[in-house]
Structure 1
Amino acid sequence: MRAENNKVELTGTIITEPEFNHEVFGEGFYNMHLKVDRLSGTADIIPLIISERLINLNDKYTGTAVNVSGVYSSYNKHEEKRNRLLLYVFVCEIEKANPGEHANLNNIQLDGYVCKEPTYRKTPLGREIADLLIAVNRSYGKSDYIPCVVWGRNARFVGQLEVGTHIEINGRIQSRGYVKMYEDGTEEQRTAYEVSVSKINVLEEEN
């Protein structure tokens, strides 16, 4: 499932044991969570889906430093009266990080298309920001839909892009907590996942 248009490289610490997710043609797939520290001292908690063929279900993984490579995938889960976009890293390779060489790595490269009009705005402190949703093609005519956030002059640039523009981005996967408010007044703590973009290029289409 390795793809040239969707590459994720992570180094971090496993913080949950494998939990069964689904099965395809007799192959089981499991949820795990990876903690990747930022330079700021906070951390991103990134969901993984991993085949039983890549792990030993008898082993304990919590606290293990690992290198992970894979692709960033999306799944539309139907909830109540709406769909909720779930994001995770589909793991293609995983290995233990060498002792003493554990450095937190969080890098993603995507090649896709703007599939929704970008939203440009300024924060209360005057920082420029743009929200971007891109579609990354995968096999069998399907696509992954990846929300991205862009800052500064790149945000200004993104705010002018038209739907359908072919772009290439580099960045990192980040997690962000928020509160979901319901009509009956109840609240639920949730986590949003998105790509924080550091570099973006528009690709010229070949004739």
Structure 2
Amino acid sequence: MADKVLDNNQVTIVGVVDSEFVYSHEVFGEGFYVVEVIVQRLSNMVDRIPLMISERLIDVTQNYIGRTLEAHGQFRSYNKHEEGRNRLVLSVFVRDVEVLDEEPENVKPNSIFLDGYICKQPVYRMTPLGREIADLLLAVNRPYGKSDYLPCICWGRNARFAGKFEVGTHIHLWGRIQSRTYQKRIEGDQVERRTAYEISVSKIECIE
């Protein structure tokens, strides 16, 4: 059963390290650290993806900036309480990581597969330029009765298809993790630059 739950959330990231390791938390004496990697898109844009890595998988005291990492794991969420409200924080929980001398062949640098359930009514809309978009929130089961809540975005025919889903619909989807920056007003005229993450869906199936 545990293996099945692990199989429903699979991520592969190959990217260039762009930060030092920052301490996050400790569980039963095991320290976890966050490091950011840059992943190139086909459009020549980049995504900045945060990796949550155990100190038992890699030497977190070293500086790997500029080095290439290949990481396999799961896309996870947790609620962070700040400014009197909860904010959804997303990162890739790494189960296996390797430092590479060169980029591997035949490996997609940014890929994800999810098996989960629609937990919020999808929002279908059309941009001013006529592009179809649907926003989904997917609940994906995790071991020990927990779940991850992952925002996804569909385009074109996939958006039209997904826009008709009901809450509770069981789906499989494939895609990539993308990042986008936005500005949030925090106090008075102060504006803070933040990064949001979502899954850009390339393929989606409804499971009966």
User: What TM bracket, shorter-length normalisation?
Assistant: over 0.9
| Within-5 A mapping of 1:1-207 | 3-99=6-102, 101=104, 105-182=109-186, 184-204=188-208
Identity rate, percent: 57
Q: What root-mean-square deviation, in Å, do the aligned CA atoms of Structure 1 and Structure 2 show?
A: 1.6
Shift of 1:182: 4.3
Question: More helix by proportion, 1 or 2?
Answer: 2
Shift of 1:177: 0.7
Shift of 1:139: 1.2
Q: How many residues were matched structurally? A: 204
- 1:138-175 deviations in whole A, cap 9, x for unaligned? 11111000000000011011110000000000000000
Q: Residues of 2 paired with 1:183 and 1:120: CA distance?
A: 32
TM-score by length of 2: 0.93
1:140 partner SS: helix
Listed as ranges, the gaps of 5+ residues in structure 1 are none
Shift of 1:100: 5.8
Listed as ranges, the gaps of 5+ residues in structure 2 are none
Q: Residues of 1 paired with 2:193 and 2:101: CA distance?
A: 35
CA contact (8 A) 1:37 1:104 kept: no
TM-score by length of 1: 0.93
Q: Residues of 1 paired with 2:43 and 2:103: CA distance?
A: 21
